[in-house]
Amino acid sequence: METRLLGQIGAVSSLTLGGGGLGQLWGATTHGEAVATVSDAVDAGITVFDVAPLYGDGEAELVIGEAFGGRLPEGVRVTTKCLLGAPPAAEVYPRLRASLEGSLGRMRLTKIDVFILHGMIDDGDTEGATTRTGLPLFFGAVVPAYERLKGEGLIGAWGISGVMMPRAVIKVLESATPPQVVQCIANLLDSPGSMRRRNEEARPREIIAAAKRAGAGVMGIRAVQAGALTSGLDRELPPDHPEMVDYDRAEPFRRLAAKAGVCPLTWLTSTP
């Protein structure tokens, strides 16, 4: 397994195991299969596991807890998240702390490597929002709360989701207090698929460039665009669903893979 530098976090495996499948969000699977997948991933050299409470209502984190029994193998790192929204500033730290404690309990850990803000950072009106966090709240309350959690020894670093509002994400990355990690779209289509929430271009390459300037580590997500870049989707979707639209767009890629005699997924994960 090749390694890459994840900003200040250090060297990690070039491939990361995402928690959506562990939480049984993609197609039919079982808890036992998910636990076995984690073990197989470690054997294959994967050292980063990216989970969240929303992945199967805590299921992905429970899988991590069972697979490792509260003792992470040497060099293995775990990230998790919190969907904060836009609560009053005074509630930010308590909500982040409560979410983190729940995650730690499910994973049987006392500390995680990276705590990521799940959802959108928005530079517009976010009053009453449940999935969007405005820039004033982010800088005024979220960043101090993350730094407090670091000081308490509960997290090693903090990060953001750099997907849904590129202009706001770039403002954060260009600020005096950038995150240590940013999760960015990284696929052949430059597509966030169903993660897109507004009529704004995804601009993943600009976000990655801004992260590099800020010294933030980049975690590429949606590498196969939720299955759109594989040989076949593992679930039924309507023709106008964003993932199905991208699957149709990726037909030339599948033809190239077939001509090369490899499956699309193998090609994506083995090509430098």
Domain boundaries, the chain: 3-223, 230-272
d(CA 229, CA 9): 29
Which range has highest mean pLDDT (26-30, 102-106, 116-120)? 102-106
What is the DSSP secondary structure assignment for residue 58, as one 8-state letter?
A: T
Mean pLDDT, residues 23-42? 90
With H, G, I as helix, E, B as strand and everything else as coil, classify residue 29: coil
Mean pLDDT, residues 53-72? 96
pLDDT tens column, 187-219: 999 999 988 877 778 899 999 999 999 999 999
Architecture category of domain 3-223 in CATH: Alpha-Beta Barrel (3.20)
Say how far residue 179 (Cα) sits from the centre of its chain.
14
Mean pLDDT, residues 122-150? 94
d(CA 264, CA 174): 36
- Asked if 59 and 31 count as a contact pair (C-beta separation under 8 A), the reply is yes
With H, G, I as helix, E, B as strand and everything else as coil, classify residue 60: helix
What pLDDT was estimated at residue 172? 97
104 phi and psi, to 5 degrees? -60, -40
d(CA 120, CA 133): 6
Beta pairing, strands 3-5 & 11-13:
antiparallel
With H, G, I as helix, E, B as strand and everything else as coil, classify residue 220: strand
218 phi and psi, to 5 degrees? -110, 125
Alpha-helix runs per DSSP H in 69-226: 89-107, 135-137, 143-151, 166-173, 204-214
Q: Which residues contact 255 (CB under 8 A, 6 or more apart)?
A: none
Output the pTM of the full model: 0.91
d(CA 186, CA 224): 9
What is the DSSP secondary structure assignment for residue 72, as one 8-state letter?
A: P
